[in-house]
Amino acid sequence: MIRFNLLVVALLTTTGAAFAQDAAPFPPPKTEPPIVTPGRTNSDPPSDAVVLFNGKDLSQWRSGDGTAAKWNVRDGYVEVAAGTGDISTVQQFGDVQLHVEWATPAVVKGEGQERGNSGVFLMGRYEVQVLDSYQNKTYYHGQAGAVYKQYAPLVNASRKPGEWQAYDIVFHAPRFDEQGKVVDRARVTVLHNGVLIQNNVEIYGLTYHDRPALYIAHSPQESLKLQDHGNPVRYRNIWIRRL
């Protein structure tokens, strides 16, 4: 133990010395940051985004059984068709930046989890909750912007029912070792209507509603999924960037 402590002290001392010496400016990186043309507004897809829904069709999406997605597209948005099931992207993704706009029904129906419930499932597994959380109380780690049953949002930045809202999400995919054990948990940052509500939180695993979270190994890239929770929630302008 004493030897170990001495080693730690030696390491700290060495690191401290190195830190002092490295206080000079860092040399510039050898590669230039790629040039990306931003959209006209912060919600328009930038030039390197994969546009998953542009208001016209669901060609980028499939139902759970692999058939064509059956939600209703009209007037530039897609609306959950209750009972037709979740929809998932044809393409698969790992670490991403995601923009998604959504609106809960203007005509308020139900209470708590039954009001405007849907969800954005990163890698088809880790849910950022979509819910009408405007004057609608529920358990805090189940309201809009929650990492479902794990983290409440830092604030409630919800707009009124029927109004368009946006999530901007930065997601770090989990990493698994050869035995399927998680060695690096998923992390997520979420802005709700431009307001930070999840600050790089570490996800504990699958966002079950009725049992503790756990990790089950999966591919480095998986489909993004939107939830059919039986409520006619609308989505538009969905784009994603691979990181």
Residues that bind Mg ion (CB under 5 A): 117, 119, 227
Report the C-alpha gap between 174 and 182 in whole angstroms. 7
Q: How far is the CB of 35 from Mg ion (least distance, A)?
A: 38
* All residues at 6 or more sequence positions from 154 whose CB lies less than 8 Å from its CB, including other chains: 196, 197, 198, 199
Q: Rounded to an integer, what distance in angstroms lies between the CA atom of residue 100 and that of residue 53?
A: 9
Show the tokens assigned to 68.
């064509």
Q: Which is nearer to Mg ion, 77 or 102 (CB)?
A: 102
Task: Give the nearer residue to Mg ion in terms of CB position, either 133 or 237.
Answer: 133
φ, ψ of residue 226 in degrees (nearest 5): -110, 140
Question: In angstroms, what is the minimal distance from the CB of 229 to Mg ion?
Answer: 5
Task: Give me 21's structure tokens.
Answer: 């010496």
Residue number with CB closer to Mg ion (49 or 203):
203
Smallest distance, Å, CB 68 to Mg ion? 23
Q: Which residue is nearest to Mg ion (CB)?
A: 119
48's tokens: 């390197």
Q: How far is CA 177 from the centre of its chain?
A: 23
Least Å from the CB of residue 166 to Mg ion: 17
CB of 197 to Mg ion, least distance (A): 16
Quick check: helix, strand or coil at residue 10? helix
When the beta carbons of 49 and 169 are compared against Mg ion, the nearer one is 169
| Alpha-carbon distances, residue 201 vs 23, 37, 150, 154 (angstroms) | 31, 29, 10, 11
Give the residue with the Cβ less far from Mg ion, 89 or 117. 117
Nearer to Mg ion, 233 or 240 (CB): 233
CA distance 148 to 122: 12
Element (H, E) at 7: helix 2-21
Q: How near is the Cβ of 175 to Mg ion at its closest, in Å?
A: 26
Closest distance of CB 119 from Mg ion, Å: 3
Closer residue to Mg ion (CB): 194 or 230: 230
Rounded CA gap, 134 and 76, in Å? 24
Contacts of 87 (CB under 8 A, 6+ apart): 58, 61, 62, 63, 69, 70, 71, 225, 226, 228
